[in-house]
Structure 1
Amino acid sequence: MASQQLDEKTVTGLVADAAAAPSMHNAQPWRFRFVAGEHVLLLHADLERAMPRSDPDNRALHIGCGAALFNLRVAAAHANLLRETRLLPDPRDPRLLAAVRLGDGAAHPRDEDLARLHPAIRQRHTSRYPFAEKDVPEDVLATLRDAAEREGAELLFPGPWHTETVLDLIHDAESRDTLDPDANEDLVRWTRLGPEADTALDGVPEYAFGPRMRDGKAPIRDFAGRRRVADRGTTTFEHTPHLALLSTPGDGPADWLRAGQALERVLLEATLADLTASLTSHALEERTLRLLARDPASGAGQVQMVLRLGYGPRGPSTPRRPVRDVLDIV
């Protein structure tokens, strides 16, 4: 693809691709500002979309914004406009998460490693449906490991004992929420039921909940909780889920942004390999639980996300806010 000029239409397209990223409960906690005179696109955290109960330190918010940042890098590379990316460029402004410098690519080679991922941005959807009891080939797993490593993270595929430990942590988190009447406050705020699901611009609409799990061990969060959802049904999920743990060396804002970029790079690679995925950080919302989820052999790294990978139906597209609501051009 030939390089494009930095007009409003081009910048709008870049942000639309960025905003296709996953985020906790699809809250889309980001805002963008394009400084036209400097050819810089700034990514800010939208703290009005934070989740004080389930994400008190804004870890998940940073991961979601990191995923959006990676999509932006891919889209800019596809247009041969990507020049430089800086994380947390202004220590005085913690809401400013990244600055991406853009420019005419006529005199620069395109980043083909990023650009080739561009078609997967719109194909990637979270799937809360059963996956086949089928192994993922080792060469595909190696590709996903490399994708995480390229963004400064590690992707671990836990063995049977470690997998059971992680599943127990997830089930314990679900039980904890059942006993705490306020624990699901954020989830209720960001789920869309009934007619609201058809007009929503954010959140998780009921058509994306997937069926209830009648049997199986897949770590699927039930977004309906005790609320009734018509025509939802129940079914059997896989008994041997294929999990992956995404970890970073540290556990601060820069690490969370790297985790988000690594997560999205893994998801886009998985999409190109015809894999589907769902995500959960339910058991990772407290730092002590993140430590328990670590590799029991090495005990290193900070687990930031649990991925469930497999072969099955891709989930439906979830709503996105209009670009005009998340982009300012100055």
Structure 2
Amino acid sequence: MTRRRMLGLVGGGMILAAGGGAGWAATREPQLAGRPWQLAGTYEGPRERALSWALLAPNPHNRQPWIADLREEGIVTLRADLGRLLPETDPYSRQITIGLGAFLELMRMAAAADGYRVEIVPFPDGEDPSELDGRPVARAVFLKEPDVAREPLFAQALARRSNKEPFDMTRPVPAASLERIGDVVRGTRFGNTVTEAEVVALRALTREALRIEVETPRTFQESVDLFRIGWREVDANPDGIDFTGPLFESLRMAGLFTREAAADPSSQVYRAGLDAVFANADSAMGHLWLVSRDNSRVGQLAAGVDWLRVNLAVTTEGLGVQPLSQALQEYPEMDGLYREIHARLAPEGGTVQMFARVGFGAVVPPSPRWSLESKIRNA
């Protein structure tokens, strides 16, 4: 499940109303409900309509790292929200940039469905490979063009989810499905496997990468700091990693599930969390990945475009997908696995930008507790 903060027009208006009502508090559910999905595409201006869809794009740790500037008529200037980066696990903001690319692609698809072609210029004022800064990530010009080609994939925008539950290990993933998913990729190389020996090896690699991230205190603490435990915390900060529902509410109220316990290797909460992430990795019934020619910012945006497209195509095929890109993270403790996964998946060169498990699982409904903040500056 994913949640999204409120997309607002600073200086007047909002894309998403805070909504809710007192009744939600009685059920111990966050008040922002599923309004991003309910209200997508319901706004007056073409840019606002497209942005109300774009905020549903996948992004790392649900950081929602986008700032959209509408001060120029007919143009969206996208910048990174530098307060929403992941410096420990994503020190060069590569994954954040991929999320911004996914945002741009869903915005483009939504505009096309509305009869607008969007011309996107990536990093119009240049890029820094070592860090994101205040310069624009992209400049997008909206042009009315009723005959613009519509994207069939856009029909899956409301249904797309990252499935964070174990997959059904009795149901193999059809190789033909992965071939069709690969057909939607535009700017990166698509790789996949359902071969048992390869899947088993990649499960083991993924498990080891997860272990390293969790057992490296500073990288795991980055995730723990983003835990939102219980509906009150989700309402206060509807981003990050969601822990709501009767079980987590009960554990919170009993003082058994806290950020301190989650970060303590001697605690039951810590051990249970590690077992849960291992269970997901171990249930992979196939894997897919995206490789770019280089690791430039433009290449990372292109990977985000394809990651969004792959997610929608996975949904079309009735499959579930969850990114498990820990081995792709560029911090010292992960260096050995980083080299290994590149040797396995990109022996001909390039950068593996995304890696994920696929399989069949329960349909994940729109979460009543995920919302969005994307600040739009409208002078």
Q: TM-score band, normalised by the shorter chain? A: 0.7 to 0.9
Residue in structure 2 matched with residue 145 of structure 1 by the alignment: 182
Higher relative contact order (CA 8 A, sep 6+): 2
State which of 85, 89, 102 in structure 1 corresponds to 2:142.
102
SS at 1:147 equivalent: coil
Show structure 2 runs of 5+ residues with no match.
1-42, 128-132, 249-261
CA change 1:240–1:19 in 2 (3 A) is closer
Match of 1:136 among 173, 177, 181: 173
Tell whether the 8 Å contact from 2:105 to 2:305 is kept in structure 1 after alignment.
yes
Counting aligned pairs with the same residue, the percent is 25
Residue of structure 2 in register with 1:302 after alignment = 351
Deviation, structure 1 residue 123: 0.8
Cα distance between partner residues in 2 of 1:275 and 1:100: 32
- Give the structure 2 partner of residue 180 of structure 1: 216
SS in 1 for 2:212: helix
Summarize deviations over 1:288-325 as a string: whole Å, max 9, x none: 43332136386023211111112211335362324xx4
Rounded to whole Å, the distance in 1 between the matches of 2:283 and 2:153 is 31
Counterpart Cα distance in 1 of 2:344 and 2:57:
31
Distance, in Å, in 1 between the alignment partners of 2:362 and 2:48 is: 30
Q: Which residue of 1 aligns with 2:14?
A: none
Q: What do residues 128-168 of structure 1 show as CA deviations (whole Å, max 9, x unaligned)?
A: 112223223333212211112x2333233364444344333
Summarize deviations over 1:191-247 as a string: whole Å, max 9, x none.
Answer: 211233541421121149x99xxxxxxxxxxxx665749xx9979766552111221
Task: Please state whether the residue corresponding to 2:344 is helix, strand or coil.
Answer: coil
Alpha-carbon separation, structure 2, partners of 1:268 and 1:175: 29
Q: Is the 8 A contact 2:191 2:345 kept in 1?
A: no
Q: From the superposition, tell whether residues 147 and 63 of structure 1 become closer, same or farther in structure 2 (CA, over 3 Å).
A: same
Distance 1:196-1:165 versus aligned 2 partners, 3 A rule: farther
Secondary structure of 1:312's match? coil
CA distance in 1, matches of 2:345, 2:376: 45
Partner of 1:312: 361
Flag the 1:296–1:159 CA change in 2: closer, same or farther, 3 A. farther
Letter in 1 for 2:341: A
Q: Tell me what 2:291 maps to.
A: 247
The whole-number CA distance in structure 1 between the counterparts of 2:244 and 2:308 is 23
Aligned AA (2:184): A
Deviation at 1:271, TM superposition (A): 1.0
Note if contact 2:284-2:357 (Cα within 8 Å) is conserved in structure 1.
no
Name the CA shift for 1:91/1:177 in 2 (closer, same or farther; >3 Å): closer
Q: Is the 8 A contact 1:197 1:207 kept in 2?
A: no
Pick aligned residue for 2:301 from 257, 262, 266: 257
Residue in 1 aligned with 2:22? none
2: CA distance between counterparts of 1:67 and 1:292? 27
Look up the match of 1:218. Answer: none
Distance in 1 of aligned mates of 2:80 and 2:290: 22
Question: Which residue of structure 2 aligns with residue 321 of structure 1?
Answer: 372
Corresponding position: 1:79 with 2:114: yes
Q: Are residue 60 (structure 1) and residue 84 (structure 2) matched?
A: no
The normalised TM-score by structure 1 is: 0.80
1: CA distance, partners of 2:240 / 2:79: 19
Report SS of the residue matched to 2:91.
Answer: coil
Distance 1:20 1:227, change over 3 A: farther
Give 1:243's aligned amino acid: H
Quick one: structure 1 residues 28 and 205, their matched pair in 2 at CA, closer, same or farther if it must change by over 3 Å? same
C-alpha distance in 1 between matches for 2:78 and 2:160: 22
Q: Is contact 1:24-1:60 (8 Å) kept? A: yes
SS of corresponding position for 1:51? coil
Q: Is the 8 A contact 1:34 1:42 kept in 2?
A: yes
Q: CA RMSD in A?
A: 3.1
Compared CA separation, residues 227 and 10, structure 1 to 2 (3 A): farther
Alignment of 1:184-223 (within 5 A): 184-199=220-235, 200-207=237-244
- In structure 1, the gaps of 5 or more residues are 1-6, 212-223
Q: Secondary structure at the match of 1:65?
A: helix
How far apart in 2 are the matches of 1:23 and 1:205? 14
SS of match in other structure, 1:293: helix
Q: Is the 8 A contact 1:248 1:259 kept in 2?
A: yes
What per-residue deviation string (whole Å, max 9, x for no partner) do you get for residues 53-102 of structure 1?
Answer: 11110011101111111111111111121231221121177641112211
Sort the Cα spacing of 1:159 and 1:139 in 2 relative to 1 into closer, same or farther, 3 A.
Answer: closer
Q: 1:88 aligns with which of 98, 123, 138?
A: 123
- Deviation of 1:270 after TM superposition, in Å, equals 1.2
What is the aligned counterpart of 1:31 among 44, 60, 67? 67
Q: 1:207 to 1:111 in 2, by over 3 A?
A: farther
Tell me how far apart the structure 2 counterparts of residues 297 and 62 of structure 1 sit (CA, whole Å).
21
